[in-house]
Amino acid sequence: MKVLLINGSPKANGNTALALSEMAKVFEAEGVDAETIHVGNKPIRGCIACNSCAGKGKCVFDDMVNEVAPKFEAADGIVVASPVYYAGPNATVMAFLDRLFYSTSFDKTMKVGAAVAVCRRGGSSAAFDRLNKYFTISGMPVASGYYWNSVHGMTPGEAAQDAEGLRNMRMVARNMAFLVKSIALGREKYGLPVKEQGEMTNFIR
Ligand SMILES: Cc1cc2nc3c(=O)[nH]c(=O)nc-3n(C[C@H](O)[C@H](O)[C@H](O)COP(=O)(O)O)c2cc1C
């Protein structure tokens, strides 16, 4: 079992990293491999809607997105943690996720997702909702905790004082470990849910 932990902060050792490291300790204890990938410090541009990925199976911009895509395909789950900027995930995380989810055609059904928003004071639940949209359009179950996953702090390291936020991070990781293990068993016993093919209706009439 393997999960990816995406750090969307430009800071390698900021509060987002701290929230993820709290989760990583739990994954280790639960026997789930966890690889942390720092994307927030990379120059990741947005999607240009060229649709070249539809033919090539990868993004036209050969950067971190194409590097992470095969790791995501092999993983059983993904945690995306972002600092909150103006009550949303930061721009780098959004560019990364738009292109990662749009450019990859492998089946994401039943890979477990978890979103984490890290902020000083406000906007975490809006950022959390936005991040979850990538999972819930992809047939991915979402691991949750006691609260809408947020950790609070301003200057790097301040989130260490948010005992409740960090307790929630540990709970999300425990629930996620349980889900990835349970889904692996369920896939073997029952197979994945059957998908329906159908035309797209674009609300033009
Ligand atoms: C451009 C920018 C916008 C921010 N907007 C918000 C915000 O809307 N709400 C908030 O509570 N904190 C906001 N913050 C503070 C960060 O979310 C906070 O410092 C967080 O701990 C940063 O995480 P990091 O250390 O992992 O980078 C903002 C910070 C920056 C740089």
pLDDT digit string (tens) for 150-200?
999 999 999 999 999 999 999 999 999 999 999 999 999 999 999 999 888
- Domain assignment present for 202: no
Report how far apart, in Å, the C-alpha atoms of 190 and of each of 1, 101, 182, 183, 184 are. 19, 26, 12, 10, 10
Measured in Å, residue 43 CA sits from the centre of ligand 1 at 19
61: containing domain = 2-190
- Domain assignment present for 201: no
| Among protein residues, the one whose CA lies closest to atom 2 of ligand 1 | 85
> What atom in ligand 1 is closest to the CA of residue 119?
17
Report how far apart, in Å, the C-alpha atoms of 20 and of each of 80, 115, 121, 195 are. 9, 11, 19, 33
Q: For residues 116 and 150, what is the distance between their CA atoms, to the nearest angstrom?
A: 6
Q: How many CA atoms lie within 13 A of 20 on its CB side?
A: 28
Provide φ and ψ at 193, rounded to 5°: -60, 145
What SS3 class is residue 73?
Answer: helix
Is pTM beyond 0.85? Reply is: yes
CATH number at residue 20: 3.40.50.360
- Domain assignment present for 55: yes
Radius of gyration of the chain (CA): 17
Question: What lines the ligand 1 site, CB under 6 Å?
Answer: 9, 11, 14-16, 83-87, 118-123, 153-154, 156
Measured in Å, residue 36 CA sits from the centre of ligand 1 at 21
> What atom in ligand 1 is closest to the CA of residue 152?
21
**What pLDDT is attached to residue 70?**
98
| Among protein residues, the one whose CA lies closest to atom 28 of ligand 1 | 85
**What pLDDT is attached to residue 205?**
63
pLDDT in tens, 82-105: 999 999 999 999 999 999 999 999
Q: Is the pLDDT of residue 43 over 80?
A: yes
pLDDT in tens, 124-137: 999 999 999 999 99
Sign of CA dihedral 90, 92, 95, 97: negative
- Domain assignment present for 151: yes
Q: Which residue has 């359009």 as its token pair?
A: 137
Ramachandran assignment for 23, one of left (phi > 0), alpha (psi -120 to 50 degrees), beta (any other)? alpha
> What atom in ligand 1 is closest to the CA of residue 155?
19
Report how many domains make up the chain. Answer: 1
